[in-house]
C-alpha cells in the first residue's frame, strides 16, 4: 500500500497494490494491519456502505459530530466521482478549506477522511458504485451537514449546478456559518 499525502494532516490517499495475471487481478482493498502501519491510525471500521448513483448525483456535504463522529475510508468500484473533504474544525489553520480528488475504477485510489471533516461526492460518469467504511454507526442526533454550493467554500464540483441531482434532505443544508461544527483538536483520535 502506498500513502499519498494531501493538503490536510491525517487525510490520506491510499493506493493498494494490484496483482495482475491472465485471469484478471487481485488486491487487498483493506488490511487493518497495513492501514495502521502506513497511517499510524488504529481505526476499527464497523460498517461498510455502498451507494449507486447516476451522473450528476451529489451527496453531501455530510458528517457526524462527537461523540458519534466518524472516520471514513472511501473508494469507487465502478465509474468516476469527484470526492471532496472540507476541514470543519473551528480554530484549525485550514478551517473551511477543501480538497478534491477524482476517484474511479481506473486509478483505484482510496481516500481516508478523519473525524472533523465534512465529506461529499458527485458522480461524473454515467453511473457509479461508491463504497465507504465507517468507524461509528449512524446517529441521527449527531448528524451535521453543509450546503455543497456554499460560496465561502467555493467548491468546483465539475458539473454545472443545474445538472446536480440532490435529495430533498441535501437541498436543506445550511451554509458553514450556520452549521454545527467541530472544535479544533490536534489529535482527532484523543
Catalytic residues: 62, 132
Q: Print the SS3 string covering 73-99.
A: EEEEEECEEEEEEEECEECCCCCCCEE
Distance CA(60)–CA(72), nearest Å, equals 14
Q: What does DSSP say about strands 89-90 and 182-183: parallel, antiparallel, or unpaired?
A: parallel
- Enter the C-alpha cell of residue 31: 488490511
Phi, psi of 116 (to 5 degrees): 95, 5
Distance CA(145)–CA(179), nearest Å, equals 7
Residue in the block written with cell 472540507: 86
Cα angle 76, 66, 60; round to 5: 35
Distance CA(103)–CA(78), nearest Å, equals 10
Neighbouring C-alpha atoms within 13 Å toward the C-beta of 20? 1
Amino acid at each position: 500500500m502506498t500513502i499519498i499525502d494531501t493538503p490536510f494532516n491525517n487525510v490520506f490517499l491510499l493506493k493498494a497494490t494490484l496483482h495482475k495475471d491472465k485471469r484478471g487481478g487481485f488486491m487487498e482493498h483493506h488490511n487493518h494491519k497495513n492501514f495502521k502501519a502506513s497511517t499510524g491510525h488504529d481505526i476499527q471500521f464497523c460498517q461498510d456502505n455502498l451507494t449507486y448513483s447516476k451522473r450528476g448525483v451529489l451527496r453531501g456535504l455530510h458528517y457526524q459530530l462527537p461523540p458519534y463522529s466518524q472516520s471514513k475510508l472511501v473508494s469507487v468500484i465502478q465509474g468516476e466521482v469527484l470526492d471532496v473533504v472540507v476541514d470543519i474544525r473551528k480554530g484549525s489553520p485550514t478551517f473551511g478549506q477543501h480538497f478534491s480528488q477524482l476517484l474511479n475504477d481506473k486509478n483505484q485510489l482510496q481516500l481516508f477522511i478523519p473525524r472533523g471533516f465534512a465529506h461529499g461526492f458527485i458522480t461524473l460518469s454515467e453511473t457509479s458504485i461508491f463504497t465507504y467504511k465507517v468507524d461509528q454507526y449512524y446517529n441521527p442526533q449527531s448528524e451535521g451537514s453543509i450546503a455543497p454550493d456554499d460560496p465561502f467554500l467555493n467548491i468546483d464540483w465539475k458539473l454545472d449546478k443545474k445538472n446536480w441531482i440532490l435529495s430533498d434532505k441535501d437541498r436543506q443544508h445550511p451554509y458553514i456559518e450556520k452549521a454545527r461544527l467541530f472544535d479544533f483538536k490536534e489529535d482527532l483520535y484523543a
